[in-house]
């Protein structure tokens, strides 16, 4: 699985919503409370890479990020955004 674990930011949530994936709006019918800045969330590595290219990549929890994320992101980019 290509997963980057992150702490979402307001900028990333706005980017994701603009890209068609609204993560901040609650969807109770799916048991989803919505995310707010500071929440920890696992992202598809491809979306994190898109956000990085747009300058809105959220901080990364490297210890919880899958190694296969390196198929989409460079280690140096992930380390530059690392919380740990």
Nearest C-alpha neighbor of 65 from the set 53, 78, 77: 78
CATH number, position 32? 3.30.56.110
DSSP 8-state assignment for residue 27: B
How many domains does the chain contain in total?
1
* Contacts of 32 by beta carbon, 8 Å cutoff, 6+ apart: 26
Give the pLDDT confidence of 4-61 residue by residue, as tens digits.
Answer: 999 999 999 999 999 999 999 999 999 999 999 999 999 999 999 999 999 999 999 9
Domain of residue 7, residue span: 3-80
Give me the residues paired with residue 27 across strands. Answer: 32
pTM over 0.85: yes
3-state secondary structure of 29: helix
3-state secondary structure of 32: strand
């Amino acid at each position: 699985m290509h997963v980057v674990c992150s702490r979402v930011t307001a900028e990333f949530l706005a980017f994701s919503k603009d890209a068609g994936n609204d993560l901040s709006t609650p969807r109770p019918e799916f048991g989803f409370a919505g995310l707010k800045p500071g929440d920890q969330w696992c992202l598809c590595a491809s979306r994190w890479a898109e956000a990085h290219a747009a300058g809105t990549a959220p901080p990364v929890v490297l210890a919880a990020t899958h190694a296969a994320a390196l198929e989409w992101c460079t280690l140096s980019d992930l380390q530059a955004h690392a919380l740990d």
